[in-house]
């Protein structure tokens, strides 16, 4: 191959740097660069200015990075949300998932006051709630009676034995007045679903009261 002039080589250099030349041209330029300092310098300068695509790569990388950051932020937000949800669920479970407190004579005592009103005394450390009906007219053994259904419920946070959040500085029982108690003939304790009896009649009063405990009677 005949020796190429510097002018020809320098014309070819941009293509050579971009690597879009044929193998023959590449060889030609390679050979020339090995022997010619001037063209070598030209080549080096050109390679440096050609490093622009590298910068573009950096930008692309930054974009990817930004995207990833956004993803990360979403992930963090997501896990914060999930954590909050989980905490709420645990909180709900601890404080709102109600379980019936089983009746015991030491724990729950119905007491008739001098004025005839009924009071429910609760001797446990805490409870989550009390359910009590107004007197309901029911026929028991051929007799019409006004009965009150009641129960105390606990949660994990509030139970007869736990002082979960509050100090128990109470002296004596926690009292609750039985509504319209002067007309009440009997108080039944246990789980009850009045709707089942009154609205859907899936259950008879007899069936319901058999599952409950008679804890006070006139
Ligand atoms: Zn040259």
Q: In this predicted model, what pLDDT tens digit does every residue of 145-161 receive, in sequence order?
A: 999 999 999 887 778 87
In the predicted structure, residue 198 carries a pLDDT above the cut 60: yes
Lowest mean pLDDT among 51-65, 94-108, 123-137, 152-166: 51-65
Helix/strand/coil (H/E/C) assignment for every residue in the chain: CCCCCHHHHHHHHHHHHCCCCCHHHHHHHHHHHHHCHHHHHHHHHHHHHCCHHHHHHHHHHHHHHHHHHHHHHHHHHHHHHHHHHHHHHHHHHHHHCCEECCCCCCCEEEEECCCCCEEEEECCCCCCEEEECCCEEEEECCEEEEEEEEEEEECCCCCCCCCCCCCCCCCCCEEEECCCHHHCCEEEECCCCHHHHHCCCCCCHHHHHHHCEEEEEC
pLDDT of 168 reads: 58
Identify residues whose C-beta is under 5 A from ligand 1, the ion: 6, 36, 39
Tokens 């259904």 found at: 149
Region 105-132 average pLDDT? 91
pLDDT of 152 reads: 93
Q: Between 61 and 207, whose confidence is greater?
A: 207
Could you tell me the distance, in angstroms and rounded to a whole number, from the CA of residue 29 to the centre of ligand 1?
9
Could you tell me the distance, in angstroms and rounded to a whole number, from the CA of residue 157 to the centre of ligand 1?
89
In the predicted structure, residue 208 carries a pLDDT above the cut 80: yes
Region 129-150 average pLDDT? 91
Could you tell me the distance, in angstroms and rounded to a whole number, from the CA of residue 33 to the centre of ligand 1?
7
Q: Between 157 and 41, whose confidence is greater?
A: 41
91 — pLDDT class (breaks 50, 70, 90): confident
Could you tell me the distance, in angstroms and rounded to a whole number, from the CA of residue 45 to the centre of ligand 1?
14
Could you tell me the distance, in angstroms and rounded to a whole number, from the CA of residue 35 to the centre of ligand 1?
8
Question: CA nearest 188: which of 160, 152, 151, 154?
Answer: 151
Q: Which two tokens stand for residue 138?
A: 């029911």
pLDDT of 172 reads: 79
In the predicted structure, residue 128 carries a pLDDT above the cut 90: no
């Amino acid at each position: 191959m005949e020796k190429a002039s510097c002018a020809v080589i320098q014309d070819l250099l941009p293509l050579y740097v971009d690597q879009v030349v044929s193998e023959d041209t590449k060889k030609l330029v390679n050979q020339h660069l090995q022997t010619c300092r001037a063209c070598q310098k030209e080549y080096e300068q050109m390679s440096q200015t050609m490093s622009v695509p590298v910068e573009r790569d950096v930008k692309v990388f930054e974009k990817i990075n930004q995207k990833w950051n956004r993803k990360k932020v979403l992930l963090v937000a997501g896990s914060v949300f999930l954590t909050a949800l989980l905490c709420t669920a645990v909180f709900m479970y601890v404080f709102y998932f109600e379980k019936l407190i089983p009746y015991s004579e030491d724990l729950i005592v119905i007491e008739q006051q001098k004025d005839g009103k009924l009071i429910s005394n609760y001797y446990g450390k805490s409870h989550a709630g009390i359910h009590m009906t107004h007197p309901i007219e029911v026929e028991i053994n051929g007799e019409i009676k006004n009965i009150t259904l009641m129960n105390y419920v606990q949660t994990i946070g509030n139970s007869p034995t736990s002082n979960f959040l509050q100090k128990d500085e109470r002296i004596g029982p926690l009292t609750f007045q039985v509504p319209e108690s002067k007309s009440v003939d009997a108080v039944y304790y246990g789980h009850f679903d009045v709707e089942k009896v009154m609205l859907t009649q899936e259950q008879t009063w007899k069936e319901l009261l058999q599952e409950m405990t008679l804890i006070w009677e006139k």
